Structure 1
Amino acid sequence: MDRIHVSTVVCLSTEEVYDFLVDFPRYARYSEYLTEVEADGDGSPGTRYRLRFSWWKLSYTAHTEVSDAEPPTRLDWRVTEDLDAKGRWRVDPLDDVPETVPDATGPACRVHLEVEFDPGSVGGEMLDLPRFVSLDWVVEKVKPVLVAEAERVVERIVADVEGRRRDAELVVHEAPGER
């Protein structure tokens, strides 16, 4: 399994951040490649999402489900079709706001986006690949795109949830191929 783990500090309480993260359909506003989100449910366990992605000459709809939740600190999900993948948002309260966060007042937490996926579980029938393009080539090209996309989403969420744009210090704890 490959992993992506990105985190940053958000200057709000864990409850406020969790409520924001549960509203998954808004994520399409943060992503360059996520073009549409359809939800069946309220964001609690059992909620199903259809996520429409477009990148390069490819498009794909991921079917996901919220698998577990521990409000206000964890929200787990898994992909239910075509790909062996799962992930979570984790929200850890902080006693002190790090000095790297300018003009911070009030509560703060560290928000983690963690994703695990098995690139070998991607089947050729899952994507309509252009002629002469191998699935292995696509998988290797997508890995760095996924890391950059995770960073972009977390950074944009911070700006939206805090109501201001700032240089959020993003920590990439793990990326595909690092083990």
Structure 2
Amino acid sequence: MQHVVLANRGDPKEQDTEEPKKRKGGWPKGRKRKPPRDISVPCAPMTGYRIFLNEQRSQLRARHPDLPFTEITKMLAAQWAQLSQEKKQRYVYEADKDKQRYIRELWAYQSSQACRAFLQRQAAHEARTLLAGAWGHFLASGSTSDPQGDHSSFRCFLMPPVFQQDQAHQETDWTGRAFRSQHLILLCLPCAHLPWRAASC
């Protein structure tokens, strides 16, 4: 007689929990989205040091192909520090020319239709973001039922103070502006059913 030993697979519920959970997608938690950027904005001017780095990096890389990028940059930084003022002056002069080029291009860009269109898109995006945040806060505030039945889809409530005394140093200007904007949006909602707001609505 032959004995067959079956391996103990354990509880099937435990096996399901051991599998890694798949992410549903979306934006990673804790990572901020970069604001939309206009691609037609002129490139920022280069400093004399950056012009020196770009000019010398290819020569140094040809002489030392096995060195990593960081080591090459360290070597070039040491060369820049040892460079005489007369030799640095050439790079500073090129940087001044590049700065003048940037000012001309920026002036032309700011007076163009592309800049105006981008600023309008950016303002609309910020308004949508603030309105969505205010509306979400409004809906999360609880029941929206009105005892009088006139404004059953609206509810007024006080916004929390923007700055608490113990966390005033942690708040940023943007957060304060966002709360103030949301508060102004919420003040515009009809709320005649509240006696203390009825006179001002």
Q: TM-score range by the shorter chain?
A: under 0.3
Q: Which of 1 and 2 has greater Rg?
A: 2
- More RCO (CA 8 Å, sep 6+): 1
Bigger fraction of residues in strand: 1
Bigger fraction of residues in helix: 2
